[in-house]
């Protein structure tokens, strides 16, 4: 299993966004988490596709785009065109997730399905084989710098069991409150892609990114 850090630019300094991304990329981090929020599915509004297109020109990282929007199927084609590598939609926001996942794959992108903390894993009963990644929100979505919800650890563990029982290689991404105090719990539960916002971006972005990148590399080495 491959372990990846996916720093969330929602916590970056947007006045220095290009510099912040380069600081992370130069440490060897492969993923970049990009939250698109519409102010309807979640309370906040973040940014649109022009920003994704602009940073795509200066980064070779895997763009991990998380559509936190109502009816995300309306934006899949534009998300792909903007430079996304992985497109994740919310089960709660999508009327026809099976069709949306198929659309993402037809555009040559990896497909992820996201679940909010209180959404049952049963939402995945007929979708798990179809997606490349499941994103489990470990805070209620919409704002950065929230505290990790403890019961999500058991949910991650249960999902990893489901994946293994079906003989799948599906990635588990966790998003929300991931930092030095919570990282061990989610790794041991079975997550392998970790979104981190305020834990990475800040006064010492490069140092923070390298710290978590190395931690994940060490964990992977010790769990071959």
Residues placed in the known binding site for substrate:
8, 66, 175-177, 197-198
Q: Which residue positions form the known binding site for a divalent metal cation?
A: 33, 35, 66, 175
Q: Which of 38, 175, 184, 218 is catalytic?
A: 175
Closest CA to 62 of 39, 89, 31: 31
Q: Is 125 a catalytic residue?
A: no
From residue 92, give the alpha-carbon distance in Å to each of 57, 96, 165, 176, 191.
32, 10, 25, 18, 21
Q: Is 175 a catalytic residue?
A: yes
Q: Which residue positions form the known binding site?
A: 8, 33, 35, 66, 175-177, 197-198
149/143 Cα distance (integer angstroms): 14
Q: Which tokens hold the place of 83?
A: 């430079």
Q: Which of 35, 38, 132, 171 is catalytic?
A: 35
- Catalytically active residues, by annotation: 35, 175
């Amino acid at each position: 299993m491959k372990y990846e850090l996916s720093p969330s630019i929602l916590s970056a300094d947007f006045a220095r966004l290009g510099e912040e991304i380069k600081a992370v990329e130069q440490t060897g981090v492969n993923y970049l988490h990009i939250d698109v929020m519409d102010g309807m599915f979640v309370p906040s509004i973040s940014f649109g596709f022009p920003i994704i297109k602009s940073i795509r020109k200066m980064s070779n990282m895997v763009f991990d785009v998380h559509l936190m929007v109502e009816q995300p199927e309306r934006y899949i084609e534009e998300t792909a065109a903007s430079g996304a590598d992985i497109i994740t939609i919310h089960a709660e926001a999508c009327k026809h997730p099976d069709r949306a996942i198929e659309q993402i794959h037809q555009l040559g992108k990896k497909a992820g399905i996201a679940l909010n903390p209180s959404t049952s894993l049963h939402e995945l009963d007929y979708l798990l084989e179809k997606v490349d990644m499941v994103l489990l929100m470990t805070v209620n979505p919409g704002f950065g710098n929230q505290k990790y919800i403890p019961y999500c650890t058991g949910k991650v563990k249960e999902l990893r069991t489901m994946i293994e029982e079906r003989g799948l290689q599906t990635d588990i991404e966790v998003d929300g409150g991931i930092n030095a105090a919570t990282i061990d719990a989610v790794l041991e539960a079975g997550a392998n892609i970790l979104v981190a916002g305020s834990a990475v971006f800040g006064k010492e972005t490069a140092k923070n990114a390298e710290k978590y990148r190395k931690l994940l590399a060490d964990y992977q080495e010790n769990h071959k």
